[in-house]
Amino acid sequence: MIIVLEPGITDAEYNHVLEVIEGMGFQVHVSKGVRRTIVGVIGEEDRLRIQPLSAIRGVERVIPVLTPFKLASREFQEEDSVIECGGVKIGGKNVAVIAGPCAVENREMLLEVARRVKKAGASMLRGGAYKPRTSPYSFRGLGKEGLEYLREAGDELNMPVVTEVMDARQVEEVEKYADVLQVGARNMQNFNLLDEVGQRGKPVLLKRGMSASVKELVMSAEYILSNGNARVILCERGIKTFEDSTRNTLDLSAVPNVRQISHLPVIVDPSHATGRAGLVPAMSLAAVAAGASGVMVEVHPSPERALSDGEQSITPDVFDGMMQQLRTIVAAMERELQSGRPGNQEDGG
């Protein structure tokens, strides 16, 4: 921690600053420059970080030296984490494709989409049973019924299932059906929910909040890790900016950026990031080229009838074409597409 003192600091104020810091058991290292005096503080920065040192009179600025996260940091663990999710590996050399409808609308539709995306090469199935909606008058998901359909489709096709949990009260129920618990963008800083999923054993897919910096994303992962659950997958899904021709702005540089500071895998959701089906294939390819551990895309057999996010869902046919291109990019990057476990139907065939 570095403390920059104000130019006009009095002796009394100066002594007080040093007393406060030394009183907490830290060593100080004072460096007097031409226009400013700087105090280097040596010791456990975490303990210091939570002190409001910048509120002390005579302190101009406090500059942390270390990142505020530990367990999630690349310094703590040098090699990539590879998270096993119901048989599918996320992280390292692997590239996983997670696909499915935005919301589970009914059993037939879900099975239809699941079969198509499985056939095209998706390794995991996504679908919302509980849906966060900005309007109270919108479709908010089938709830438990949706979870049952997801489990059935996952079992039939031997695909692990990822679905969102919106509230700490839902965790117990959702983890009975899902292989991976998704924490949505709006809940990235719902700290009670982070605690709750951190105390369970299932892998967590943690989406970046719309106004969260890369560091805040990793910091939210730290919540989960510090609760004992090390199986966290990060997901870049676009941030809020002034650009209004896309739903959000996909910050694809977050992929190599996160990879430098954390060992956790990071995937990309181009559907929510762009909000436009026509941009999803291009951004999926770009995500893999940027080094992402996978992509998560919304696929709907008839987007114009979708109960949620139809404008950003691609059709199974478009998904087929995208997967063909994706395979060539994966190969060019010398990485491996996680094709997923063989489906149970195929097992019996």
Confirm or reject binding of residue 3 to its own copies (CB under 8 A).
Answer: no
Q: Which of 310, 320, 336, 344 binds its own copies (CB under 8 A)?
A: 310
Residue 180 host element (H or E): strand 180-183
Q: Which of 111, 168, 171, 318 binds its own copies (CB under 8 A)?
A: 168
What length is written for the chain?
Answer: 349
Identify the burial level of 32 via C-beta atoms within 10 angstroms of its C-beta, where 0-12 means exposed, 13-18 middle and 19 or more buried: exposed
DSSP letters spanning 59-83? EEEEE--S-S-STTBTTT--SPP-E
Q: Which of 9, 161, 264, 288 binds its own copies (CB under 8 A)?
A: 288
Confirm or reject binding of residue 174 to its own copies (CB under 8 A).
Answer: no
Where in 147-166 is the site for its own copies (CB under 8 A)? 166
Where in 59-78 is the site for its own copies (CB under 8 A)? 63, 65-66, 68-69, 75
Q: In whole angstroms, what is the distance from residue 239 CA to residue 177 CA?
A: 30
Confirm or reject binding of residue 346 to its own copies (CB under 8 A).
Answer: no
Confirm or reject binding of residue 12 to its own copies (CB under 8 A).
Answer: no
How far CA 47 is from CA of 27, 44, 64, 255, 347, in Å, comes to 13, 6, 12, 30, 55
Q: At what angle do helices 107-120 and 316-332 cross, to 10 degrees?
A: 30
DSSP letters spanning 20-52? HHHHTT-EEEEEE-SS-EEEEEES-HHHHHTS-
Q: Which of 111, 219, 320, 336 binds its own copies (CB under 8 A)?
A: 219
Q: Return the SS3 of 285.
A: helix
DSSP 343: P
| Minimum CB–partner distance for residue 217 and its own copies (Å) | 10
Where in 80-139 is the site for its own copies (CB under 8 A)? 132-139
Confirm or reject binding of residue 171 to its own copies (CB under 8 A).
Answer: no
DSSP 189: T
Confirm or reject binding of residue 209 to its own copies (CB under 8 A).
Answer: yes
Using the minimum distance from each CB to its own copies, give the nearer residue, 321 or 342: 321
Binding mask 15-44 for its own copies (x = CB under 8 A): -----x--------x-xxxxxx-x-x-xxx
Please name which of 323, 318, 320 lies closest in space to residue 337, comparing C-alpha atoms.
323
Where in 242-281 is the site for its own copies (CB under 8 A)? 242-246, 249-257, 260, 270, 273-274, 276-279
Using the minimum distance from each CB to its own copies, give the nearer residue, 39 or 88: 39
Structure-block tokens of residue 316: 């199974």
Using the minimum distance from each CB to its own copies, give the nearer residue, 79 or 134: 134
Stretch that binds its own copies, among 92-100, 143-151, 156-164, 234-242 (CB under 8 A): 234-242
Q: In whole angstroms, what is the distance from residue 205 CA to residue 179 CA?
A: 10
Q: Which of 333, 336, 341, 344 binds its own copies (CB under 8 A)?
A: 333
Confirm or reject binding of residue 187 to its own copies (CB under 8 A).
Answer: yes
Confirm or reject binding of residue 226 to its own copies (CB under 8 A).
Answer: yes
Confirm or reject binding of residue 341 to its own copies (CB under 8 A).
Answer: no
| Minimum CB–partner distance for residue 101 and its own copies (Å) | 12
Using the minimum distance from each CB to its own copies, give the nearer residue, 82 or 168: 168
Using the minimum distance from each CB to its own copies, give the nearer residue, 44 or 155: 44
| Minimum CB–partner distance for residue 161 and its own copies (Å) | 21
Q: Which of 109, 120, 239, 322 binds its own copies (CB under 8 A)?
A: 239
- Secondary structure, 3-state, 87-140: CEEECCCEEEEEEECCECCCHHHHHHHHHHHHHHCCCEEECECCCCCCCCCCCC
